[in-house]
Amino acid sequence: MNQYVWETAEEMDAALAKRIRGIRKRRRLTQQALSERSGVSLGTLKRFETTGQISLLSLTKLAIALGCENEIRSLFDNVVYESIEEVIDESKG
């Protein structure tokens, strides 16, 4: 039986921000230190941790600075096919 999770995009972004904040704290980095290490402005980092809003480029920079770049690299690596047509279309190139 499939289990469905109903989350808005905003809820998903907020959860991601919470996970990144947790990693930052685990690494014992202040927001200022992570900002300097990543090249992401302190204001952008604070807004992200508060609202979940951030550009993909800034998120990637934070991931690299936290040593989590493989998490970004592996996004969408194992997306399940929704239909046989997708498999056929992809094999056609």
Instruction: Give tens-digit pLDDT for 43-89.
Output: 999 999 999 999 999 999 999 999 999 999 999 999 899 999 998 99
pTM of this structure: 0.85
DSSP category for residue 46: H
* Segment 11-15 mean pLDDT: 96
Mean pLDDT of 3-10: 83
The verdict on residue 18 lying in a domain is: yes
Q: What is the pLDDT of residue 91?
A: 85
| Cα end-to-end distance, the chain, whole Å | 33
- Is 17 among the domain residues? yes
Is residue 88 situated within a structural domain? yes
50 lies in some domain: yes
Nearest in space to 33 (alpha carbons), one of 66, 59, 56, 55: 66
Q: What is the rounded CA–CA span in Å between residue 62 and residue 70?
A: 12
The residue written with tokens 């936290």 in the block is 66
Q: Per the domain annotation, does 3 fall within a domain?
A: no
Q: State pLDDT tens for residues 24-45.
A: 999 999 999 999 999 999 999 9
State both tokens at 46: 């604070």
Domain that holds residue 71: 9-92
> Which is higher by pLDDT, 5 or 53?
53
Tokens of 92: 């056609």
Domains identified in the chain, total number: 1
**CATH value at residue 73:** 1.10.260.40
